[in-house]
Structure 1
Amino acid sequence: MGELAGKRAIVSGASRGIGRGIALELARAGASVAVNYRSNPDEADEVVAECKSMGVEAFKVQADLADQAAAEAMIDQSVERLGGVDIVVSNAAYSDRHLMLESDMAEFRKTIDVSMWGAFYVVRSGASHLVRAGNGGNIVVISSPHAHLAMPGAMAYNMAKAANDQMARTAAIELAQHRVRCNIIHPGWIDTPGERKFFSEETLQREGEKLPWKRLGQPTEIGRGVVFLCRPESEYITGSTLTIDGGIQLPWRDMFRIEETASTAKPFESE
């Protein structure tokens, strides 16, 4: 029996990448899991099978979260099948990379529709069920350092994730009276299929080795962060941001200047 035994969780965008890692770690901790997917049913089946192998209930539920009605129906169907809900994880996202002046506006809007509006639909609908049940609960929003780092070529995603952070913190305030907690996770550079949309395997390997922790993160590491935030022992944590990034947001590039200075500097002696 895991630390979340008996809990019921919904994870959006859970057929691959970070969402898959979250679903598996929640199952490992004993929670039943609704695995949301948009267009990868076979991969969703694999996640469901892995969750079931850990002795918990799991099933897939399809929805395009950019569609408000579809997103809300996904939450409703999941809650009905689970017999309630205790944990809602907003993870699904979409991103297209272009400089602002070269943006394909259809892709720009899709990024906002999925990564911002889709996250809001999931959080709002999930919160409504948690509040009505009256048993408290947890919402975790998978955001990004893009929320505060102005990454060039990712304006729409930067905008969406900044909105995610404010949404989650505002929800934390509004839901505290209902004993529903809402927290944020900022993953670093995680080894997911989505990264292969923008980078080759060679680039991911080479650049990963340059990071402070000498590798990319794994989806299950984000999943363990979700489990931590949803543990009963973490019940005093709400409106907080948990960063799981192997130090990527630290001023690690400056380390090399420090090392270079140290190698040429004369010894310091105090009197």
Structure 2
Amino acid sequence: MSAAQPESHPASQPLPGTRPLQGQRAIVSGSSRGIGRGIAVALAQAGAEVTINYHSHAGEADEVAAECRSHGAVAHTLPADMGDRESVEKLIDAAAEKMGGLDIVVSNAAYSDRHLMLESDLSEFEKTIDVSMWGAFHLVRCGAQKMVDAGAGGNIVVISSPHAKIAMPGAMAYNMAKSANDQMARTAAVELAQHRIRVNLIHPGWIDTPGERKFFTEETLQSRAAKLPWGRLGRPDEIGRGVVFLCDPGSQYVTGSTLTIDGGIQLPWQEMYRVDEARREAAEN
């Protein structure tokens, strides 16, 4: 299979004059870096006031806030441990107080430790569940309660993963957490529709983030990225644009849906190697 050639890909910018989320107030968990950063900036570009949540990267959170402000948005930073329910509840209260309410909640924060089940450090396994599953639930629940109390509707977006469907070996805790995220979001979409609160999911593909460097060397990332259907890793801003689309008032008939932004990674692209091999054999014979 011949890999697609990576195109030039500067960070996406909003179309001139398009600020569909003007006046909206958003919080993004785990938004000091990676996908969360891309989401926070995209929301700011679309006109939203943004609260950037961080746990251990305060300096980077400040940088994200500055970038959001460079787009004319109001931005705040707030710390919280997404693996602790009380911390998440305080985060939502503080964000709503700072911004005067909540219109958009994006559950993005996650943690993952990769080991085979029989070799797992259970403390790391449990941390993955606490942050990636329980943290998402508490954020969604507390954020939804604020929206219900305000009575003005709202949007919740849960950043899940193809791991929700693919039994990736060495990632059992993360697989479990993301599967739970999917069912949580769809169930919440049903329960919250009466309050005009839309809940949707995004499944990112392999995205170029600092977190990937925890598991792969730079050389491995780039060599494997070149073999993907689109010939490169995804960018955080591309996930951000997906969040903006889902929260746009023009998308008000979209709820309980999953938006896949993965450059084709979940397609059966590796089967193309078999096609190419068959063609070579036919030509040789």
TM-score with structure 1 setting the length: 0.97
Code of the residue aligned with 2:182 in structure 1: it is D
1:118-137 equivalent positions in 2, closer than 5 A: 118-137=135-154
Code of the residue aligned with 1:22 in structure 2: it is I
- 1:158 aligned to which of 165, 171, 175: 175
1:212-231 equivalent positions in 2, closer than 5 A: 212-231=229-248
C-alpha offsets along residues 161-188 of structure 1, whole Å, 9 cap, x if unaligned? Answer: 0000000000000000000000000000
SS in structure 2 opposite 1:72?
helix
Distance in structure 2 (CA, Å) of the matches to 1:106 and 1:61: 26
SS in structure 2 opposite 1:9?
strand
1:34 correspondence with 2:51: yes
Distance in structure 2 (CA, Å) of the matches to 1:60 and 1:71: 14
SS in structure 1 opposite 2:126?
helix
Structure having greater relative contact order (Cα 8 Å, sep ≥ 6) = 2
Q: Which residue of 1 aligns with 2:107?
A: 90
1:108 correspondence with 2:125: yes
Code of the residue aligned with 1:39 in structure 2: it is S
Distance in structure 1 (CA, Å) of the matches to 2:79 and 2:200: 25
Code of the residue aligned with 1:65 in structure 2: it is M
1:9 correspondence with 2:31: no
**RMSD across aligned positions (CA):** 0.9
Aligned-pair distance for 1:134?
0.8
C-alpha offsets along residues 51-94 of structure 1, whole Å, 9 cap, x if unaligned? Answer: 01111110100000111011011011001100111100000000
Matched residue pairs, number?
Answer: 266
- 1:251 aligned to which of 262, 268, 281: 268
C-alpha offsets along residues 234-271 of structure 1, whole Å, 9 cap, x if unaligned? Answer: 000000000000000000000111122234448xxxxx
TM-score with structure 2 setting the length: 0.92
Distance in structure 1 (CA, Å) of the matches to 2:140 and 2:201: 12
C-alpha offsets along residues 105-150 of structure 1, whole Å, 9 cap, x if unaligned? Answer: 0000000000000000100000001111111110000000000100
Distance in structure 1 (CA, Å) of the matches to 2:281 and 2:57: 55
Distance in structure 1 (CA, Å) of the matches to 2:120 and 2:145: 36
SS in structure 1 opposite 2:111?
coil
Code of the residue aligned with 1:151 in structure 2: it is M
SS in structure 1 opposite 2:259?
strand
Distance in structure 2 (CA, Å) of the matches to 1:245 and 1:30: 26
Code of the residue aligned with 1:34 in structure 2: it is T
Consecutive unaligned residues of structure 2, counting only runs of 5 or more, are: 1-16
- 1:201 aligned to which of 194, 218, 226: 218
Code of the residue aligned with 2:233 in structure 1: it is L
Distance in structure 1 (CA, Å) of the matches to 2:94 and 2:147: 14
Distance in structure 1 (CA, Å) of the matches to 2:276 and 2:259: 29
1:72 correspondence with 2:74: no
- 2:155 aligned to which of 117, 138, 149: 138
Distance in structure 2 (CA, Å) of the matches to 1:188 and 1:243: 8
